[in-house]
Amino acid sequence: MLKFDRYGIYCEPARIYIDPWKPVERAIITHAHSDHARWGNKHYLAHHFTVPILKLRLGDIAVQGVEYGETFTINGVQISLHPAGHIPGSAQVRLEYQGKVWVVSGDYKLQHDGISTPFETIKCNHFVTESTFGLPIYKFPESEYLEDAINTWWQNNRAQGNNSVIIGYALGKAQRIIKHLDPSNGAIFTHGAVGSILNAMKGINLQLPETLYASAFTKKDDQGSIIVAPPSAIGTPWLKRFLPFSLGICSGWMQLRGARRRRGADRGFALSDHADWNQLNTAITNTGAENIYVTHGYKSSYARWLRENHKLNAVEVDTLYEGENIEENKPEEIPQSTDIDESVL
C-alpha cells in the first residue's frame, strides 16, 4: 500500500503522501517540525493542534484539521490519525486497505511530557519508525527527574546572581520546558521564536506559566530570571543582554560525554522529544507488526538489531527526515559506551 519514492512516503491507492519532502498535490503531515512539514504542497491535512503552527511556519496554505481517531476514506483506504506523543498535535497515520494495516509513526516518544497527548499503540502489519536514538546507550531519565533538575539548576544560578538561559527547540521542547518551570523561582522570558509559537498555540490550552518576551528583560529588575531560547541563539550577540548567565541545553545528545562542551554549555539535560532505546523496542514490539521500515537515525544498526534479535522483517529506507539536530552527530556514527555522560542521569 505504501512506497517510498523521491517525493516522500506515498499511499498509491489514496494518491496521497505522508510528510513529503518535495511539493505534492495532497499531503498528510504528522507534525510541524520543518523536516516533516515543508512548503509547497497544494493541500495539507494534519491534527487540528498542528494547523496553527503550519500556518505560522508555511504561510497561507490550504490545510484541513482532524481529530485523533477520526476516520476518513479515500479511494477505499481508511485513514485516521493517532497520538504520537512527540509534541502537541503530533500524530501517527494509520492506513487500512484490503485487510492490511500500515502505521507511519513520524517522530514519537512513549515518555509522557505533560503537554502532548500520550503515544497510542496501534496494532498493524507494517510499521514505519524513526530511530533517532536507536542504540542501547540512549536511556533517558524520567521526566520528573529532569523537571526537578532544571528548576534546581535555575535556583542555584539565581542564588549566585546569574540568569539561566535554557536551550530547546522552539516547537515542542520549549513548551515542555516552560510547562514544568516553577514560577516562584522568578520571571520566565522567551526568545521571539519561542514566543511566536506560544501565541500560535493559544487555542490548545496547554496551561503554561506566564512568560514574557526577552525584549522586556532589564538587568535592574530581572536578574536571576530564566530565558527559554532555540538552538539558533547559541553564540549570538542576542545572548549578551543576559550576562552573567549560565547556559543549559536540553537534548538527548546531552547524554554523550563531550556534547555539552562542544556546544559551550554549562549544563546539559538529557531531555528529548524522541524515543530512547527502550521506548523504541517497546513501541515496535507492542504493535505486533512483522514488517518494520526504519527511516532516520541509527537506521542501519537498528534495523539489523530488529532482524537479529526480534526476528522481524526490518529494512532501512532513505528519507530526508533529520531527527534531533541540536548536536551535529552523524546518525550512523556509533559512539562507544565510555562516551556516556553520567552527570545527566
d(CA 226, CA 312): 46
- Return d(Cα 180, Cα 210) in angstroms, integer: 12
pLDDT at residue 339 in the model: 54
Taking the domains of the chain in order of start, what are their residue ranges? 2-138+274-329, 143-269
* Range 281-285 average pLDDT: 98
**Which residue type sits at 329?**
N
**Which three cell numbers mark 113?**
511530557
Segment 121-145 shows an average pLDDT of 96
Segment 38-42 shows an average pLDDT of: 97
- For residue 336, name the pLDDT band (cuts at 50, 70, 90): very low
Whether 2-138+274-329 and 143-269 share one fold: the answer is no
Q: What is the pLDDT of residues 155-210, one digit of tens each?
A: 999 999 999 999 999 999 999 999 999 999 999 999 999 999 999 999 898 999 99
Q: Considering the entire predicted model, what is its pTM?
A: 0.93
Q: pLDDT for 67-111, tens place per residue? A: 999 999 999 999 999 999 999 999 999 999 999 999 999 999 999
Give the tens place of pLDDT for each residue, 112-124: 999 999 999 999 9
Q: Please tell me the distance from the alpha carbon of residue 294 to that of residue 107, in angstroms, as a whole number.
A: 11
The dihedrals phi and psi of 176, each to the nearest 5 degrees, come to: -65, -45
Name the residue type at position 333. Answer: E
Give yes or no for a contact between 47 and 65, defined as CB atoms under 8 angstroms apart: yes
Pick one of 3.60.15.10, 3.30.70.1400, 1.10.3470.10, 2.40.240.10 as the CATH number of 2-138+274-329: 3.60.15.10
Task: List the alpha helices (DSSP H) in the chain.
Answer: 51-58, 143-159, 173-179, 192-200, 219-222, 259-262, 277-287, 299-310
CATH of region 143-269: 3.40.50.10890
